[in-house]
Amino acid sequence: MDLSLVIPVFNEEESIQELTEWIKKVCTNDRLSYEIIFIDDGSTDSSWERIKSIAVKDHFVKGCRFRRHYGKAAALHTGFGEASGNVVITMDSDLQDSPDEIPELYKMIMNDGYDLVSGWKKKRYDPFVKRFTSKFYNGTARWSSGIKLHDFNCGLKAYRLEVVKSIEIFGEMHRYIPMLAKEAGFRKIGEKIVEHRARKYGVTKYGLDRFVKGYLDLLTIGFISRFGKSPMHLFGSLGTLMFLIGFTMAGYLGIRKLVFVSHHLRAPLVTNSPFFFIALTVMIIGSFLFLTGFLGELINRNSSERNSYLIKDKVNI
């Protein structure tokens, strides 16, 4: 099969039929064999009934329904597990992503050799707050990841099948799939300017809570990618550094005490100095950080994925 389209759905009953017909027209004209996988993320309207009715008539339409609303990352992860096409394309179900972009995205993967192609909604029809926070996110993500994309959070993306089978997304990490793909060894990541259409039905699902969740997930990805296999490298280094700083401060107070005593001078009490309590606190924090890294290593040692590595190819094995 040429193509799998993974489409998360959350209360988009008005647009599902129109989106399906549009995809069908585009793929038929370009002679692409395809499947559409709708993931109903706990919709409270009649979205699931629409998906079922379409699937009865069109064998290329598949559907999966969550018992409750889990989020876009969970929907994409489930859809990736069901996908079987050579190229996997994700898009939103609200008709703001144009299916007319599908053929070109498919060619960029199959003919140009990209592992992942992310859409760039250069001209957006979103509210000002969403556009502002999006630019802020994307700038931070570019700086931290080194991936030169303008729109990490664009729902319209194309992947080589191997990519979606090699990454795991959870929480709100669907925003940073290019970073996960790069960490997994897929480094040919491209970008395509795509049409962003004004919302035709329903209301936006965007909320200000995503601002906080997005940055927390960015920190999580940064930590996992650098120290997921060796947490002691971070916590042990920080703990050792802080312990040495505290020990040096305590040593200074001890040496000063001995100097006073050796000159038969009245020595001030060590505990009268604020440096004593600062040194003690810093050494305790350093010890806790070191123990955190040690416990992280013990947990990692017992993990079933401690030696899971992605193999690209084999010969005579």
pLDDT digit string (tens) for the chain, length 317 residues: 899 999 999 999 999 999 999 999 999 999 999 999 999 999 999 999 999 999 998 889 999 999 998 888 889 999 999 999 999 999 999 888 999 999 999 999 999 999 999 999 887 766 666 667 777 777 877 887 788 888 888 889 999 999 999 988 877 778 889 988 988 889 899 999 998 877 666 666 555 566 666 667 767 767 776 776 778 888 888 999 999 999 999 898 888 888 888 888 887 788 888 888 999 999 999 999 999 988 888 887 776 665 554 555 544 45
Tokens in use for 217?
């997930």
DSSP state of 21: H
Q: What angle do CA 14, 18, 24 make, to 5 degrees?
A: 150
* Nearest partner of 19 among 5, 3, 40, 32, judged by Cα: 5
For residues 93 and 48, state if they share a domain: yes
Per DSSP, the three-state class of 154 is: coil
Within this chain, do residues 92 and 237 fall inside the same structural domain, yes or no? no
Check whether residue 200 and residue 260 sit in a common domain: no
* Distance (Å, whole) CA 80 – CA 168: 9
One domain, residues 34 and 65:
yes
**What whole-number distance in Å separates Cα of residue 249 and Cα of residue 86?**
61
Q: Give the whole-angstrom CA distance, residue 180 versus residue 177.
A: 5
CATH number of the CATH domain containing 146:
3.90.550.10
Flag whether 317 is in a domain: no
DSSP tag of 97:
B
Radius of gyration (C-alpha) of the chain in whole angstroms: 27
Query: Are both 87 and 216 inside the same structural domain?
Result: yes
Q: How far apart are CA 15 and CA 202, in angstroms?
A: 9
How far is 293 from 299, CA to CA, in rounded Å?
10
Residue ending a domain, choose from 227, 248, 270 = 227
Domains identified in the chain, total number: 2
| Residue at 312 is within a domain | no
19 and 136: one domain?
Answer: yes
> At residue 290, what are phi and psi to the nearest 5 degrees?
-60, -45
Domain that holds residue 44: 3-227
| Residue 315 within any structural domain of the chain | no
Q: Are residues 200 and 103 in the same domain?
A: yes
To the nearest 10°, report the CA torsion of 210, 170, 194, 200: -60
Give the side-chain half-sphere CA count within 13 A for 257: 13
Asked whether residue 308 is domain-assigned, the answer is no
Pair 250, 182 in one domain:
no
